[in-house]
Amino acid sequence: MSSTTEYLSLLHRPRRLRRTSSLRRMVRETQLTVNDLIYPVFVMEGENQQQEIPSMPEIYRYTLDLLLKEIADAANLGINAIALFPLIPTEKKDNAGTESYNPDGLVQHTIKAIKQEIPEMTVITDVALDPFSSYGHDGIVKDGKILNDETVEVLVKQAISQAEAGADIVAPSDMMDGRIGAIRQGLDAAGYFEVGILAYSAKYASAYYGPFRDALESAPQFGDKQTYQMNPANSREAIKEVALDIAEGADIVMVKPALAYLDIIGRIKEYTNLPVAAYNVSGEYAMVKAAAEQGWIDEKQVILETLTSMKRAGADLILTYFAKQVALMLR
């Protein structure tokens, strides 16, 4: 058989559909859009201040006045939602996280201001005690252990307080057992039927969270979080956690972190028809920024490839510190 005959005998040539940029766009299977993005932001007390987080280049803690400008910029880029995280002064922290449900607290005041100034922005609030805890843990501590049910009682108060302030979605990130059902019941009993719950359903005890804990000064003061966050080696357990959260009333389920857990995102996407969120966490952000700073990677292309992989795996929504940068690129 001649080489020409061999050449002509190829019926299937996948490269035909890669030949031009227009063809590649036509057959693209995954489209990353600005509507997929949720922008995590950090707020602190004071006025006219912003502090760059050393381990997260170009990401800042803002006082409320400057945060409102940052969120307005995000809205102008087409970003629909922010996830709010507070830096709480040490003197306002205690073991029971009582500041978390203070109606005049930093979070509550910030929610009200955002909804007044940028009402179209969806506000997602973190429900957990670690920013408010003197121990840096997600729950109440007693004799070196994290109390589950007692913590859930506080989380319900926290979620209701955030809903009263105007939060659109509350996002329990604590990984206490039963908290989704308790929060749903508490919100409904208080009349907040329309406030949604984004459940951190499969949140792993990950080493990727370090820069975030720097941002909030909320690292655990003893031990680690392995008694309530998931073992990174486990996959089936993620389905169990998701099933429980759905049964208890979650509206959206989430996997955190994202990049090292694409398989988990895919499994959960196949399991449920609820929206699936993924958190492109601080450590993932920091690695890209550090490599780009050294000139080792093409930052923009790596960001787009990374977020596209998360959506390809099954994420409907992506919390990412790259949100504004990506919104600009997608334009």
Structural domains in the chain, CATH included, are 31-330 (3.20.20.70)
Active-site residue identified among 92, 93, 145, 203: 203
Which residue in 254, 103, 92 sits closest to 175, CA to CA?
254
Average pLDDT taken over every residue of the chain: 94
Q: What are phi and psi of 329, to 5 degrees?
A: -65, -40
Q: pLDDT at position 218, please?
A: 63
Q: If residue 116 lies in a helix (H) or strand (E), which one and from where to where?
A: helix 106-117
SS3 31: coil
Neighbours of 331 (CB within 10 A): 8
pLDDT digits (tens, 9 = 90+) for 39-57: 999 999 999 999 999 999 9
In this model, does residue 3 exceed pLDDT 60? no
Q: pLDDT at position 125, please?
A: 98
Active-site residue identified among 225, 256, 289, 311: 256
Q: Does 241 carry a binding-site annotation?
A: yes
CB 101 within 8 A of CB 109: no
Q: pLDDT at position 7, please?
A: 64
The CA–CA distances, whole Å, from 175 to 27, 68, 135, 159, 242 equal 40, 30, 16, 15, 11
CB 230 within 8 A of CB 202: yes
203 is catalytic: yes
In this model, does residue 1 exceed pLDDT 90? no
240 is catalytic: no
The CA–CA distances, whole Å, from 261 to 26, 236, 296 equal 29, 13, 24
Q: pLDDT at position 11, please?
A: 87
pLDDT digits (tens, 9 = 90+) for 235-281: 999 999 999 999 999 999 999 999 999 999 999 999 999 999 999 99
0.85 exceeded by the pTM? yes
pLDDT digits (tens, 9 = 90+) for 105-149: 999 999 999 999 999 999 999 999 999 999 888 889 999 899 999
